[in-house]
A and B are shown apart, each in its own frame.
Chain A
């Protein structure tokens, strides 16, 4: 009885704490939405009230003026190619690293990459990319994304593969299947949980990347969604409704994916706690 009473109080206090933070999260989001759907004049006189008339036109104008179609296309190309390569190359490399102790030095070589901040590689990498003429190319962006993601991805895959039983592959080996078939047909499907963590962590960091594209893909035609918004905001910074509308359009894809795959995302974000 006494315990129940206590529990009820702690539940109420928990709820109040959560509610306060929820308001702190919602207020800026609400202001973003409300500033986007109001005309600039209305925003000045009626900043927090319900909009008199929702100005959908603003979104259309932001979409065309910020050239978001082009930015979206560039982002999709860069991120999807990078993700496919990250998963394929990372999981393949992890397989021998997890199975044979003699590759330990190679494993540590990758692991050391987790500790290296990108900023340390940034300026020499700029020099290298210029020499290879990979600045402002999809290939250049994809190669950088893959290279900087691999250490963490290999770490996650290696840890997971170590937990998988050898027996299946040994049976397949006896049947004469080759290593590639064993990996892609037997091992890779078993990696689904960690593959979803890898995908979620990398979608979040690559889709939202600003620093790398700012340095390596700044050309107008190569702008990703983030850079398209960035340069649009720079030009239109006085037109609050256009700025906020473009921001909303830019965050929509990821928020929709998150809502659809909530469970996976929450697991992936917690599972990737080790990402530094």
Chain B
């Protein structure tokens, strides 16, 4: 092919064919993702500026009114405080426990424990909610156990007492997800060479020093990812709260998501509910950016 024009035509058709080939691979994913996820996400920003009852196909544009209303809505602030409390305690305890268990289970003889600890993450919210509802019931298992061991005055209406209900939910979440945190830490620990550990202990480093200066820096990525996942997961929690307390008693366990749900489906305020979800998203976005940054960094390493 000496003729430059012929060559250009040839390379151009080649490029076009490659482009079309690529496009065929991409189209199904782009179409489904765009219609059923990206478009609803984007339109939620518009719907948050409207008044819409969910039934009427018409949307009435009202500008920033929803957001102004959120600012002075005391139930919204209750939900926000609860979600933050829930996320803070669940994330902290779940990660400390998960890390401790991972360190303990890193011994190969203890593999059977790893399997057992992964059973709760497999259980559905409906199953988990029913079991723990019975655990926490006034005449349920926890109170029966307390009575049996003579701690009768510790018995409680664990889900009915507004001061305690939120922490009962936190306990359930920790029971559920700690195994998952553990397995992520274990994956990180496997990357820590035992040679370094042994060398350090021969040099006289004690257990804590070895953990603080060798193990922990090496599992830092697992730590970041675990903290971010459990934080975002608990900020978004709906299932467990809805199944166990429905946000009650009163509004003691009302969270972001249960509030959005009840505003939309019980009060028919879909526009307002969407506005709350936009606020919730903005908060989660800030936290997610840390996560995405980490993901991209990890990708560069590969």
Q: For this complex, into which size category does the number of interface residues on chain A fall? A: 35 or more
Taking a contact as CB atoms under 8 Å apart, the answer to whether A251 and B36 are in contact is no
- Encoded as 1 (CB less than 8 Å from any A CB) or 0, chain B from 282 to 302 comes to 001100110110010011001
Contact residues in A for B145 (Cβ distance below 8 Å): 48
Q: Give complex CA distance A32, B128 in Å.
A: 10
Residues of A58-100 contacting chain B, CB below 8 A: 89-90, 92-93, 95-97, 100
Taking a contact as CB atoms under 8 Å apart, the answer to whether B126 and A93 are in contact is no
- Encoded as 1 (CB less than 8 Å from any A CB) or 0, chain B from 1 to 40 comes to 0000000000000000000011011101110110111111
Q: Give complex CA distance A97, B118 in Å.
A: 34
Would you give the shortest CB distance from A265 to chain B, in whole angstroms? 7
Would you give the shortest CB distance from B175 to chain A, in whole angstroms? 7
Taking a contact as CB atoms under 8 Å apart, the answer to whether B118 and A265 are in contact is yes
Residues of B70-98 contacting chain A, CB below 8 A: 97
CB of A31 within 8 Å of the partner chain: yes
Taking a contact as CB atoms under 8 Å apart, the answer to whether B135 and A123 are in contact is no
Taking a contact as CB atoms under 8 Å apart, the answer to whether B25 and A269 are in contact is no
CB of B218 within 8 Å of the partner chain: no
CB of B209 within 8 Å of the partner chain: no
Q: How many A-B residue pairs have CB under 8 A?
A: 268
CB of B166 within 8 Å of the partner chain: no
Taking a contact as CB atoms under 8 Å apart, the answer to whether B226 and A244 are in contact is no
- Encoded as 1 (CB less than 8 Å from any B CB) or 0, chain A from 26 to 56 comes to 1111011001000000000001100000000
Residues of B270-287 contacting chain A, CB below 8 A: 270, 273-274, 277-278, 280-281, 284-285
Taking a contact as CB atoms under 8 Å apart, the answer to whether B39 and A128 are in contact is yes
Given A25-B120, A128-B39, A255-B119, also A14-B131 (CB < 8 A): no
Taking a contact as CB atoms under 8 Å apart, the answer to whether B134 and A31 are in contact is yes
Taking a contact as CB atoms under 8 Å apart, the answer to whether B33 and A151 are in contact is yes
Contact residues in B for A95 (Cβ distance below 8 Å): 25
Taking a contact as CB atoms under 8 Å apart, the answer to whether A269 and B38 are in contact is no
CB of B47 within 8 Å of the partner chain: yes
- For B181, give the chain A residue with the smallest CB separation: A273
CB of B199 within 8 Å of the partner chain: no
Given A124-B274, A251-B123, A265-B118, also A10-B207 (CB < 8 A): yes
Taking a contact as CB atoms under 8 Å apart, the answer to whether B134 and A35 are in contact is yes
Contact residues in A for B158 (Cβ distance below 8 Å): none
Residues of A131-186 contacting chain B, CB below 8 A: 131, 143-144, 146-148, 150-151, 154-155, 159, 162-163, 179, 183
CB of A191 within 8 Å of the partner chain: no
Contact residues in A for B123 (Cβ distance below 8 Å): 208, 251, 254
Taking a contact as CB atoms under 8 Å apart, the answer to whether A210 and B239 are in contact is yes
Contact residues in B for A11 (Cβ distance below 8 Å): 107
Taking a contact as CB atoms under 8 Å apart, the answer to whether A113 and B38 are in contact is yes
Contact residues in A for B64 (Cβ distance below 8 Å): none
Given A128-B39, A265-B118, also A93-B28 (CB < 8 A): yes
Between-chain CB contacts (< 8 Å), 14 pairs = A17-B100, A17-B104, A96-B25, A113-B33, A113-B41, A116-B281, A123-B47, A123-B54, A124-B44, A131-B57, A146-B36, A150-B29, A244-B134, A276-B291
